[in-house]
Homo-oligomer: A and B are copies of this chain.
Amino acid sequence: MLELSRRMMLIAAAATIASTATSQVTLATASDPLPSWREGDAKKRIVTFVTETVTLGGANYVEPADRIAVFDNDGTLWSEKPFYFQAFFALDRIKTLAPSHPEWNDKEPFRSILAGDVESLAAQGEHAILEVIMETHAGLSVDAFKEIVSDWLVDAKHPTLGRNFDSLVFQPMLELLTYLRANGYETWIVSGGGIEFIRTFAERAYGIPPQQVIGSSVVTEFQIVDGKPELMRLPKIDFIDDKAGKPVGINKFIGKRPVFAAGNSDGDMQMLQWTTAGDGPRFGLIVHHTDDAREFSYDRQSSVGRLDKALDLAPSEGWLLVDMKLDWGKVFP
């Protein structure tokens, strides 16, 4: 009985979203839910899959409760060049904190950051990056961290595109998210980026609420501070939601195998494998960055968002390779 009512709720919800879809994405029309996708194989395959999985009585019908769609964030829902946007946050934060840390002027990796020497920073390797993350992402409460990130997003600008970071989301992917939700899919983010970082803007930017964001995390601890309960962020890694960690994170947070997965790099390969190895209809999608004019062009040789092994696997696994340059009529909103 409860299950029945849940299904009715989802159908009602889908109908409501469908009826209000035109007010959400001004370009969407009843006849074309993906107006920024050029006509072609990619768009056709997506529409066919979604239509079949919601066609009651069809061979590929998927129960509403199982309509789970997962999306990588960096490079899949927004840009990730010249490097992950969260790294810009970390570097800006070091600069903000520097006045109260005079010792950083003689201490790596902080010295390089304050001197604007990104190359030297990159050469210092993983340990240096971890030190920067802990200095900028820990030692404060969850609430305080969220506020700092929110404030940063208001002010910070992308170094070459000159726009706010949270405006560098991909219009075709926004339409895909809306289209899936209109068909009863729950849309989730599964990112190697920080879970609390993404949660500060995911609802506004993507329509994805905090409880549908999975990401990397630091350990948090419950403390009573001045008689008030607080959750404090400790300088210790809790979970890395990348590569083989993605299916682990999906199982931990969602507890079922998705039907639809979208990524853009080798970090998404295991998530795509886990998703599309399930029984029944499954969809794997890879955003291939091929558009140097409107965004960026990179794959096998890139240090950020490298797409190499998953690119090799795509044809045999049946994953859709989306060619940004050819398949997308528009990149940013």
**Bound CA–CA A16/B7 (angstroms):** 10
Assess the B255–A196 pair: CB atoms within 8 A: yes
| Segment of A43-51, A87-95, A246-254, A303-311 engaged in the interface with chain B | A246-254
* Nearest CB of chain B from residue A235's CB, rounded to whole Å: 16
**Are B1 and A23 in touch, CB under 8 angstroms?**
yes
A229 and B271 CA atoms in complex are apart in Å by: 10
Contact present for A17 and B9 (CB under 8 Å): yes
Q: How many copies of this kind of chain does the complex include?
A: 2
Chain A stretch 162-217: residues in CB contact (< 8 A) with chain B: 178, 186, 195-196, 199, 203-204, 206-207, 209-211, 213, 217
Q: Check B17–A206 contact: CB distance below 8 A.
A: no
Of the candidates B21, B24, B199, B251, which one forms a contact with A255 in the assembled complex, judged by CB atoms under 8 Å apart? B199
B273:A209 contact, CB within 8 angstroms = no
Q: A16 touching B24 by the CB < 8 A rule? A: no
A79 within 8 A of B: no
B residues within 8 A CB of A186? Answer: 211
A3/B203 contact (C-beta < 8 A), A9-B16, A9-B17, A211-B186 known: yes
Further pairs besides A9-B17, A222-B247, A222-B274: 5, Cβ < 8 Å = A1-B25, A2-B206, A142-B251, A199-B255, A211-B253
